[in-house]
Structure 1
Amino acid sequence: MESQFLGNKDFKITNQNVTESCPSNIAIIKYWGKYENQIPANPSISYTLNHCKTNTSMEFVAGEAFSVQTFLSGNEEKKFAEKIEKYFKSIEVYLPWILQGKYIIKTENTFPHSSGIASSASGFGAIAKCLMTLDEVFNPEAYSLEFKIQKASFLARLGSGSACRSLYNGLVVWGKTQELATSSDLFAVAYPNEEIHPIFKNFNDWVLLIHEGEKSVSSTVGHGLMTTNPYAERRFQEAHENFEKLKSILATGDLEAFIKLTEHEALTLHAMMMMSDPAFILMKTGTLEVINRIWDFRRITGLPLFFTLDAGANVHLLFPNDLQQDKIENFINQDLLQFTQKGGVVKDVMQF
């Protein structure tokens, strides 16, 4: 129930300056399609990254007229400030003090903008963490750590759906599914660590920057087009079915099945885009070249290099952190980097 997150009106505000950091995440089972108030149309599960983060400082000047000023890597971003002002107004019921002052928000990403890594996820995650730190200072009630993270995930979701998954480490679930009793549409939860085979706890994620510019169709528009997509309901059903399969895969350590499911989910995401009205394609020629070369490499060598895609052209290369990774890294450097726009690659790991 959302009522558990309603704010305490007995607060006392003071000038504060807080700093928080939040990583991005990459989904294995994709979230694509939503209902009002950022409710997902299907459950999703993601890996939280280790190095790709947003670092945010939030200065709160108590008693000033409500306003938001935002800076990204030192440059003022007025459009983003307008978006944050609208967001803050929408969550006042959960943080009753939020409009009682002025904000100066400074944020930096440890990864390139438009790199196929969800900056909205890490960005809104960091903002939600800052807000919860302020709320803890302004309210007399003591929060448990579990509640603080859960409410931060809830607030992050209202800014950017996938952001709610970035508040936890490891594998993270968002969206109600019978495969996980604690799952919710309102916030994300960590997937039980004890139900994950060790092989899935130490992975590389190298992102090939095939296209570094702005996407032709935003994710917000793409989600909206699912409301008229004739294949949407079947897709939502399939996500539930894939979650059931994944639960078994994670428990048994079936890497081959994990690869098959992960790549199928990535391609299904882009298939939904192509079957929208109007249809759109975010993959580039380089994206397809990389996918085909990965398939050839895996067929010839048997080595577990595979891919996933976000809502864009860039390719997330996934492979275990083990003794075979040198051969995989050599292949990436020698055969795949040529398809990037500027030789760009972001190297991250998923360890927990």
Structure 2
Amino acid sequence: MADYKNSGSIGWESPSNIALIKYWGKKGNQLPCNPSISMSLKNSLTRTVLSYEPKGNGDQLSFLFEGKRQVSFEQRITKFIENLSDHFKFLTDYQLSVSSENTFPHSTGIASSASAMSSLALCLCSMQEEISGVEMAEDEFYRKAGFIARLGSGSASRSVYGGFAAWGESNSFSKSSDEYAVPFSKYTHPVFQDFQDAILLVSSKKKEVSSSAGHQLMENHPYASARFTQANKHFERMLGVLRSGDLEEFIEIMENEALSLHGLMMNSTPSFTLLKPNTLELIERIRSYRLSSNVPVGFTLDAGPNIHLLYPKSEKERVVPFIDSELSQFLENGKYIVDEKGEGPQKIKM
């Protein structure tokens, strides 16, 4: 066995993110068919603690989620870890124990794989530093964490950064890469610096199609080529909007992206309709309110029925009463989650 530190524990908390330009369709080893950009959240986090010790006779990995063994996710993480030997040569020498918990409930339109895989990737990069005694430069550390997170869940690569992050090669952003995400927050207009996200819970039922299955639907989709062209154009426009602060165009692109995603699922084979009647009612009411009030509030969705309602913090005193009076009646048990743009992952003091 190599001469490494024998044992230790590391903890990281990492946020979920909401994509403004959607990643839908992949190629090769978790590489995107189009660039995407997202906003990392503040309150919707996964906290992961990774403990390691010299390998004995037991399983290489044990996994607990919120104190309970989760066999299906344990199998996924075991396979993920096994495939990382080229990137972390030391892993074969250690037994790992992973304990994870979320600050948000399941199936609420919050990307748990993004926060879970990014927090685990950050732990693995910190483990490398601990056992080798060599610290990486900060940008190198987060770039490698994003690369590793991507191998577990594509959108997780964006969660290693706070604020806005882009993932996927594009001629409109010279620093962009398919291999890892890159931060974009330093380029954004001040209006986006305290952006709010109210997550409107239409249904907490498990979604009908997993993200992995959804990406596979794009392989033979009749509109795949047109979608990737659209996404590249939207990506370029969104980069400009985030710089200029044009909220009208921001909302136009963001909502078109959300509905394009669901349109692709509806006309794929097999077909999935993930929007619920209450989702459509909420969309109509949001648009009507925006027209009548001139409040710059817009929606996006992931692959499910729940809505992310995004708006500047300066409008919070108007938007929250609107949610409570006009929208809450269409939500499951009247519930929604209050979140906002976050500053990114934090290492947990052990």
Q: TM-score, normalised by structure 1?
A: 0.94
- Residues 171-320 of structure 1 correspond to what in structure 2 (within 5 A)? 171-191=164-184, 193=186, 195-320=187-312
Equivalent-residue separation in structure 2 for 1:225 and 1:52 (angstroms): 28
Cα displacement string for residues 66-113 of structure 1 (whole angstroms, at most 9, x for unaligned residues): 422111111111111111110001111100111222222111111111
Give the match's secondary structure for 2:91.
Answer: coil
Which residue does 1:3 correspond to in 2? none
For 1:187, give the aligned amino acid.
Y
Q: Does 230-239 or 247-256 show the bigger shift? A: 247-256
The answer as to 2:150 corresponding to 1:120 is no
Q: Could you tell me which runs of 5 or more consecutive residues in structure 1 were left unpaired when the two chains were aligned.
A: 1-8
Q: Could you tell me which runs of 5 or more consecutive residues in structure 2 were left unpaired when the two chains were aligned.
A: 344-350
Which residue does 2:158 correspond to in 1? 165
Q: TM-score, normalised by structure 2?
A: 0.95
Checking the alignment, whether the CA contact within 8 Å between 1:10 and 1:139 is kept in structure 2 is: no
Which residue does 1:135 correspond to in 2? 128
Equivalent-residue separation in structure 2 for 1:67 and 1:142 (angstroms): 25
Cα offset, 1:248, TM superposition: 2.2
Change (3 A) 1:351 1:141: closer
Which residue does 1:154 correspond to in 2? 147
Checking the alignment, whether the CA contact within 8 Å between 2:31 and 2:178 is kept in structure 1 is: yes
Give the match's secondary structure for 2:165.
Answer: strand
Which residue does 1:144 correspond to in 2? 137
Q: Does 66-75 or 227-236 show the bigger shift? A: 66-75
Which residue does 2:347 correspond to in 1? none
Cα offset, 1:11, TM superposition: 5.8
Cα displacement string for residues 100-143 of structure 1 (whole angstroms, at most 9, x for unaligned residues): 22222111111111111001000001100110111011225441
Which residue does 1:327 correspond to in 2? 318
The answer as to 2:327 corresponding to 1:336 is yes
Equivalent-residue separation in structure 1 for 2:70 and 2:134 (angstroms): 35
Equivalent-residue separation in structure 2 for 1:59 and 1:251 (angstroms): 41
Equivalent-residue separation in structure 1 for 2:228 and 2:337 (angstroms): 31
Which residue does 1:346 correspond to in 2? 337
Give the match's secondary structure for 2:333.
Answer: coil
Equivalent-residue separation in structure 1 for 2:131 and 2:78 (angstroms): 20
Change (3 A) 1:11 1:211: farther
Equivalent-residue separation in structure 2 for 1:111 and 1:295 (angstroms): 27
The answer as to 2:70 corresponding to 1:70 is no
For 2:152, give the aligned amino acid.
G
Give the match's secondary structure for 2:334.
Answer: coil
Change (3 A) 1:263 1:100: same
Checking the alignment, whether the CA contact within 8 Å between 1:165 and 1:189 is kept in structure 2 is: yes
Give the match's secondary structure for 1:17.
Answer: strand
Cα offset, 1:282, TM superposition: 1.1
Equivalent-residue separation in structure 1 for 2:224 and 2:74 (angstroms): 33
Equivalent-residue separation in structure 1 for 2:277 and 2:64 (angstroms): 34
Give the match's secondary structure for 2:17.
Answer: strand
Cα offset, 1:179, TM superposition: 1.2
Checking the alignment, whether the CA contact within 8 Å between 1:11 and 1:97 is kept in structure 2 is: no
Cα offset, 1:10, TM superposition: 6.4
Cα offset, 1:299, TM superposition: 1.3
Give the match's secondary structure for 1:278.
Answer: coil
Checking the alignment, whether the CA contact within 8 Å between 2:163 and 2:185 is kept in structure 1 is: no
For 2:338, give the aligned amino acid.
K
Let me know the Cα RMSD of the aligned residues: 1.4
Give the match's secondary structure for 1:260.
Answer: helix
Checking the alignment, whether the CA contact within 8 Å between 1:39 and 1:185 is kept in structure 2 is: yes
Checking the alignment, whether the CA contact within 8 Å between 2:146 and 2:156 is kept in structure 1 is: yes
Checking the alignment, whether the CA contact within 8 Å between 1:69 and 1:78 is kept in structure 2 is: no
Checking the alignment, whether the CA contact within 8 Å between 1:201 and 1:351 is kept in structure 2 is: no
The answer as to 2:79 corresponding to 1:103 is no
